[in-house]
Structure 1
């Protein structure tokens, strides 16, 4: 999803090229055209945090295949899974600095540099996957991409992370008071921290690469992530209780550094956009369609999966929603929520 500001810059560049042609003659114009349409050989490194069985990795491999095929191997893609190029905050910073070409970044991770993305994770904002996809593939997502572009991030397209579910090692969570008995791991994302505090839990910020060990050693009691992450990262091995809350939705985006994006010809950019669209569709399909199967697999592994009444949890979210609005900007948050409601 290239922002509208990027599109405007592209139009301005074309106008500038026409002025060069009119003032310097066909030879100079021909030289300009050759350098702007011939893609140089290059390698794009794509970093993500997931295990190789995860939908994000499978989609990344499809993206690699499509880009290399459509560019006849001129552009190669190297996929780095399992935080092998660093944690998500680390490689997201590298994207902004232009030291890394591509990364899969969630809304919660990008908000460190683009706080407006914090509004995506307002608790219980989206009624389901279709609603979230309509909103973020439309005007609400374009609005966010504009803010990302101002900070040097090119949002190529929306893939999938998913709705978060709560897992823990101590008890079956049926009401907010049960959450208050837990010490919850949270990433460095204000939405989850404020949400669990509103439910009465204590929280501890732990990075994703350290999550499994922290859970296994009892440093924290619980965490929340989509079912695909709970299963493929094997968190269920040390978390015998999973509660289906669908309380926070995370989009995961394919993001390019501005430096890498500007090194691509217009033809290659379109190939990357098309490949991202196909890969993102696969990530969504694998994530959404596998959830019932994953629940069955978790239950077969002696994990207790339950579905509490969500109303008491929603009723506690007022303080968290206020905190998130202050973080993302209240004027922006109001506008964003209205666009999301229009997509309902």
Structure 2
């Protein structure tokens, strides 16, 4: 019996080893082509996935077929957190994560959760494509992750079921669904609302039944979730802009030649520009569709909302984050 147990353990170990080799192998034996495995949790129709497919095409073109990506979408290989852990132990090459998910490794990423940190899209991309953006990408290397570049994840805005919101005072007492994030809770409460964490999968029903009276997210998410069916108003206040980050394990990056690193970086840059266009198209489409469905899309006076969240900025005074926040706010020169 004991021998049989040992035999089963050995067989399972061999099977897992073979599966791991298939899923996570980094280099093809055929023609020594470098193949990087990339996993993420989004649908294949999502602008991020489409941009990653484009990135792979660019990588193959630049390398003349000597380098490519194998993409595992839709959470096939685990959650965002699980994939991050696979990258850290060297079992996965690359992934897409929200900047907020990287806070555990790069605390400075918390600044993206500050409302109205950026004036507009130009300011946002000016920071990300400059020295500050690069410093944040590199800051995860002690944790075995390196940022390659950023993708647009839009700006989050408020939508409500029965109460029109155009200024912070209109949020008073309203139960607004937020992510299970202390930063999001603090923001809504500071504005005067009643922040109510609800899981994304339960939000439609919560809006429908009046458990919450509103929520906040970007236009594509508002549309694809069908929350517009139960929400009459969408206020474009664009309080936070939290980018997606394409990361690679340092084990993988350090094993690439200088030429391979250059190919990958060039493909990343091209994919960023392509994804910006896809996201803009998706946002315009979403706003058009929800208005056709009867939603009133409103424009916010952002200055009123900015004043309402001033206490949040005071919390960062005399902390290590203050120089970074000040640098972002003051660095508004448009390229």
**TM-score, normalising length from structure 1?**
0.77
Call closer, same or farther: CA 1:114–1:261 in 2, change over 3 Å.
same
> How far apart are residue 334 of structure 1 and its match?
2.2
Distance 1:266 1:317 in 2: 45
Corresponding residue for residue 205 of structure 2: 216
Offset, 1:271: 1.5
Please give the per-residue CA displacement for 1:290-322, whole angstroms capped at 9, x wherever unaligned.
544432221012222111322332121123223
Map 1:1-344 onto structure 2 (within 5 A): 41-49=34-42, 51-71=43-63, 73-206=65-198, 210-218=199-207, 220-323=212-315, 325=316, 330-344=319-333
Please tell me whether the aligned partners of residues 35 and 70 of structure 2 are also in contact (alpha carbons under 8 angstroms).
no
Distance 1:222 1:83 in 2: 28
Q: Distance in 2 between matches of 1:256 and 1:53?
A: 23
Q: Cα gap change, 1:187/1:149 in structure 2, threshold over 3 Å: closer, same or farther?
A: farther
Contact 1:215–1:221, Cα closer than 8 Å, also in 2: no
In 2 relative to 1, CA 247–339 (structure 1 residues): closer, same or farther, beyond 3 Å? closer
Take 1:261 and 1:337, find their aligned partners in 2: how far apart are those partners? 32
User: What is the number of residues matched between the two proteins?
Assistant: 300
Please give the per-residue CA displacement for 1:122-159, whole angstroms capped at 9, x wherever unaligned. 21111111111111111111222232223222110122
- Further displaced range: 145-154 or 125-134: 145-154
- Structure 2 CA distance, aligned partners of 1:86 and 1:236? 30
Partners of 1:222 and 1:112 in 2: how far apart?
Answer: 29
Residue 172 of structure 1 contacts residue 304 of structure 1 at CA under 8 Å; is this kept in 2?
Answer: no
Structure 2, unmatched stretches of 5+, are 1-30
Please report the TM-score for the alignment, with normalisation by the length of structure 2: 0.78
Q: Deviations 1:74-111 (Å, cap 9, x if unpaired)?
A: 54423344444444344334433433321222222211
- Between the aligned partners of 1:90 and 1:252, the Cα distance in structure 2 is 17
For the structure 1 residues 235 and 337, does the alpha-carbon distance in structure 2 shift closer, same or farther, using more than 3 Å as the test?
farther
Contact map agreement 1:216 1:238 (CA 8 A) in 2: no
How far did 1:228 drift? 2.6
Unaligned stretches of 5+ residues in structure 1 = 1-37
Which residue number corresponds to residue 10 of structure 1?
none
Q: CA RMSD in A?
A: 2.7
Q: Deviation per CA, 1:135-184, whole angstroms, max 9, x where unpaired? A: 11111112222322232221101221122112233322122233233333
- C-alpha distance in structure 1 between counterparts of 2:249 and 2:212, whole Å: 35
